[in-house]
Structure 1
Amino acid sequence: MIIGVIADDFTGASDIANTIAKGVEPEGGLRTVQYLNVPPHPAAPDVEAGVIALKSRSIPAGEAVAQSLAALDWLLAQGCRQIVFKYCSTFDSTPEGNIGPVAEALARRLGVLGVVACPAFPDAGRSVYMGHLFVGDRLLNDSGMEHHPLNPMTDPDLRRWLTRQSTDPVGLVGWPVIRQGAGATRDALAEAAGRGERLVIADAISNDDLLVLAQACAEARLITGGSGIARGLPRNLIRAGLARGGRPAVDGVDGAEAVLVGSCSRATRAQIERHRAGHPVLAVDVDAVMEGRLGPADIVAFVDAHRGAGPLVYSSSDPDRVAALQETYGREPVAHALDALFGEAARVLVAAGTRRIVVGGGETSGAVVTALGVTSFRIGPEIDPGVPVLVAEDGSGLGVALKSGNFGGEDFFARALDALAGAGRVAA
């Protein structure tokens, strides 16, 4: 294993695994496996990139640090020469963490300063300019992320936001430096390290900027950011003769299907409405869940009744409705109840023969995959930017797609089910 990634949620792990497996043409990417939590055993010999998916984005910072350091130790034991800490391209965190505490802990363990922090993902509309994060043509705090139920993002100034979470000074390498190329960028990062700046926000407004950052960080022990930051890392290794390169491919998955959605993002709500036009859809009554009147058996019954028709079950609501539910029952109890609902429903469905599962939302994805007990996935072809086909390594014939809330086109859910069924054809 050459590159190791520590991701703070399951959809983010799939996102960056997709980036690394795909790479950049003509070189292609690396043979990539996504692990669910820290594996108890060594990686297979043919794995060039290992991505450890943690569910650490919204837990107490101290726990997130401990889990991330355990992941780091395992990746180093596999021989990784470069580590990436992956967080969301909308920098999901609170003023207390967890991005700053985890990134600083990893940097200290590796003994490095001047570590890039760049959540930019231009293919999904995320860009960083002069340290400010944009979603499309909107600053982060005017993009809908200010209403996130767990990590509301109210400040687009990443240097200021990260400083609140960090102990050491936070630097900035702005776009005027990035556009000068890898050499100038590398020098600027070295200067930041000389000033004692542990983490350094780096601008990127295009994929070319991400390739510049990758080239500048070819020898860096640690890089942090969204999945875009890994875009050029396989090219570095392939050109150096350390990896072979290629395109991701896995076998298609036959069998019954289900779509389970917990994200409340604008994009996901639009995708649900699009799916509703041609497929059976069930809205989860959160009041009924909290009062014990609706449980996993109800979801299973709905899916079973509509096998072959792409059934979708969702708990998504608009921000006002989410706020009202949290006010009534509490934020954590609602989140825990919905995670348990979807996780147990998925477990029962798979035990009964469901083999294609598409999940919308980072927290929901973590709950579902944890409940299924799958420990690792091979990375297949891309469905949409940031979302690959995942096929379980355990031989169970289970195919999964894990979608972050804001990712994917409006017809994503139907296309994802088709991609899981014909994964080999997508890669052709």
Structure 2
Amino acid sequence: MTDTELLLAFYGDDFTGSTDALEGLADNGVRAVLFMEPPTPAELERFDDLDAVGVAGVSRSMTPEEMTAELPSIFERFADLDAPIVHYKVCSTFDSSPEVGSIGTAIDVAQEVFDSPFVPVSQGTEVPHGRFVAFSNLFAEQGGEMYRIDRHPTMRDHPVTPMRESDLRRHLGEQTDRPIGGVDRRFLESYTDLASAVDETAVDDEIVVLDALDSDHLARIGHLLWDRATDAQGQLFAVGSSGLEHHALVSHWDEIGLIDRTESFFDKRDPVDRIAVMSGSASAETASQIEWASDHGFQLVSIDTERLVDPDEAAEARDEVVESALDALDAGESVVLYSARGPDDPAIDATRERFEAVGIDEGLESYLGREQGRIFREVLQRADLDRACVAGGDTSSHVVSQLNLQALEAVAPVAPGGPLCRVYSDEEAFDGLEIALKGGQVHTENDEFDYFGAVERGGVERDQTKRT
């Protein structure tokens, strides 16, 4: 652990992806805090011995114009923090497009601020997400099968950013005019070969895509990035998955004595008697988790989303959900409030039709997410809970915005990408709350759909096998 200087600053392009990076650091002996906005010096003083800071962003859902307006001030604040590496953390599937969540636009904006000597793109993350890069082509695991990303059952037909190209150089080349090269697996078997290949490639190519097929490759990448960052006159701007936080950088920091990966900031907590869950996820995975919860003593409260999106009926619909949830919690039961049970729930189409009929000039997802955030805020205020959970990436961002939350610190493992976090808030009702924020596909590493139960139990035992 360092005494005063930060090792890393990172920006997550969506909320649950940000907590994934936070988890990777905490699980490897790195003291890190995730802020909602770039921290001021006064806010940093609230925390002792920080090694890394992050900002939970939403650029994955932004247009290039919105990113160009949003990101410069954030990157400028990061420049003031003077961490050797600034990581623009993207989804492990790299889903993006020239129109939405453009990673190329993020690089263009960042280079105006950092002028990084080159921009490494490190997308591999063998553990915990099963993502591999070979000859610049991205592969992702699903259901025990490995798919090239443009043939991945989910990502090839993603509703917003379908992945139709697996070569990350070509995919990224549609989003920026900056020259892009690659260093393939043939040069990753030794540090010397990797360093020479990167330096040679970076002469002509500003962006360098790095292969990674295993943890040894990631360790060498971490070594290289740290060497180049500490040799550079300014900060090194890097793009990629949470493989940097889960393995690449922390492996090298541990090797040179900057951190101790056996030191724990991340251990199972004590169980609690009851929790509240707000689910805005329509994924099949979350639907199975809701069913598991129902079978194991959680009370389910269905949110009437058709009425919730109608301004004339929204207040009454909110009150009904809040009171039903409080009745269950007062009886000592955990509760799941949900807007849908899977992608085929008829409530989804019915809610969209109702929303379009009332003619609100706003996107359905943001409107509905804000309403769910208002519901959950009141439930948490009145129920005096110690622990809660939110399912759904967009829902998580909207719920957090209702809690006047300043920062999160990962405190316990639950599932890869969905840790239990400690809330820092200026509101007494929420400060100290433990909350788990999970994306729709996040699940525990067993054969049960017991994520919500694992949150109630305080997470799972820390997995030492990830340190190999």
TM bracket (short chain):
0.7 to 0.9
The SS at the match of 1:127 is: strand
| Alpha-carbon displacement from aligned partner over 1:276-318 (angstroms, at most 9, x marks no partner) | 3222223444433333445433332232122243311223441
C-alpha distance in 2 between matches for 1:325 and 1:149: 18
Whole-Å Cα distance in 2 between the matches of residues 120 and 298 of structure 1?
46
Seq. identity, %:
26
Give the superposition deviation at 1:172. Answer: 2.0
Partner of 2:3: none
The 3 A distance-change label for structure 1 pair 253 and 392 is: farther
| Distance change >3 Å, CA 120–CA 216, structure 1 → 2 | same
What is the number of residues matched between the two proteins?
Answer: 418
Q: Is the 8 A contact 1:267 1:405 kept in 2?
A: yes
Matches within 5 A, 1:7-46: 7-23=12-28, 29-40=29-40, 41-43=42-44, 44-46=47-49
1:190 aligns with 2:199: yes
TM-score (norm 1): 0.87
Give, in whole Å, the separation in 1 of the partners of 2:275 and 2:345: 31
- Find the counterpart in structure 2 of residue 70 from structure 1: 73
Match of 1:287 among 306, 313, 316: 306
Q: Would the alpha carbon gap of residues 172 and 405 (structure 1) be closer, same or farther in structure 2, given more than 3 Å must change?
A: farther
Indicate which of 107, 110, 121 corresponds to 2:111: 107
2:221 to 213, 222, 240: 213
- Mapped to 1, the partners of 2:304 and 2:161 lie a distance apart of 23
1:31-73, CA deviations, whole angstroms, 9 ceiling, x for partnerless residues? 1111112234341341111111112211222332443332333
Q: Which has the larger radius of gyration?
A: 2
1:238 touches 1:244 (CA, 8 Å); kept in 2?
A: yes
Offset at 1:243?
A: 4.3
CA distance in structure 2 between the partners assigned to 1:311 and 1:354 by the alignment: 12
Q: In the alignment, which residue of structure 2 is the partner of 1:140? A: 149
Checking the alignment, whether the CA contact within 8 Å between 1:5 and 1:85 is kept in structure 2 is: yes
Distance in 1 (alpha carbons) for counterparts of 2:344 and 2:362:
16
Q: Which blocks of at least 5 consecutive residues in structure 2 are unaligned?
A: 1-5, 230-235
- Report if the CA contact (8 A) 2:26-2:266 is conserved: no
| Map of 1:271 onto structure 2 | 289
Alignment equivalent of 2:172, drawn from 162, 186, 196: 162
Is the Cα–Cα contact under 8 Å of residues 132 and 157 in structure 1 kept in the other structure?
yes
Partner residue, 2:327: 305
1:392 aligns with 423
CA distance in 1, matches of 2:411, 2:134: 32
Distance 1:258 1:242, change over 3 A: same
Residue of structure 2 aligned with 1:199, choices 207, 214, 230: 207
Note if contact 1:131-1:202 (Cα within 8 Å) is conserved in structure 2. Answer: yes
Task: Give how far 1:319 is off.
Answer: 6.6
Identify the residue that residue 98 of structure 2 maps to in structure 1: 95
CA distance in 1, matches of 2:404, 2:222: 34
Equivalent of 2:404 in 347, 357, 373 = 373
For residues 140 and 320 of structure 2, what CA distance do their matches in structure 1 show? 37
Q: Deviations over 1:262-287 (max 9, x none)?
A: 23334333323333322222344443
Which one scores higher on RCO, CA 8 angstroms, separation ≥ 6? 1
SS at structure 1 position matched to 2:410:
strand
**1:334-393 Cα distance to aligned partner (Å, 9 max, x none):** 212221122111211222123312112211111111111110122212211222221123
> In the alignment, residue 130 of structure 2 is paired with which amino acid?
G
CA contact (8 A) 2:133 2:211 kept: yes
**Is the contact between residue 376 and residue 393 of structure 1 (CA under 8 Å) also seen in structure 2?**
yes
Listed as ranges, the matches of 1:114-125 within 5 Å are 114-122=118-126, 123-125=128-130
Following superposition, the deviation at residue 323 of structure 1 comes to 7.2
> Given the superposition, is the C-alpha separation of residues 374 and 181 from structure 1 closer, same or farther in structure 2, using an over 3 Å criterion?
same
Tell me if the contact between 1:107 and 1:198 (Cα under 8 Å) persists in the aligned partners: no
Question: Partner amino acid for 2:408?
Answer: F
Higher mean C-alpha displacement, 139-148 vs 84-93:
139-148
Pick the aligned partner of 1:232 from 235, 248, 255. Answer: 248
Of 380-389 and 38-47, deviating more is 38-47
Distance 1:46 1:13, change over 3 A: same
Q: Give me the whole-angstrom Cα distance separating, in 1, the residues matched to 2:354 and 2:173.
A: 34
Please tell me whether residue 257 in structure 1 is matched to residue 275 in structure 2. yes
Aligned twin of 2:62: 59
- What SS is found at the alignment partner of 1:83? strand
Cα shift at 1:110: 1.7
User: Does the CA contact (< 8 Å) of 2:272 and 2:456 recur in 1?
Assistant: no
Distance apart, 1:403 and its partner CA: 1.1
Q: 2:264 aligns with which of 247, 256, 281?
A: 247
Structure 1: distance between partners of 2:305 and 2:20: 29
TM-score norm. by structure 2 comes to 0.80
Cα distance in 2, alignment partners of residues 204 and 393 from structure 1: 36
Q: Secondary structure at the match of 1:151?
A: coil
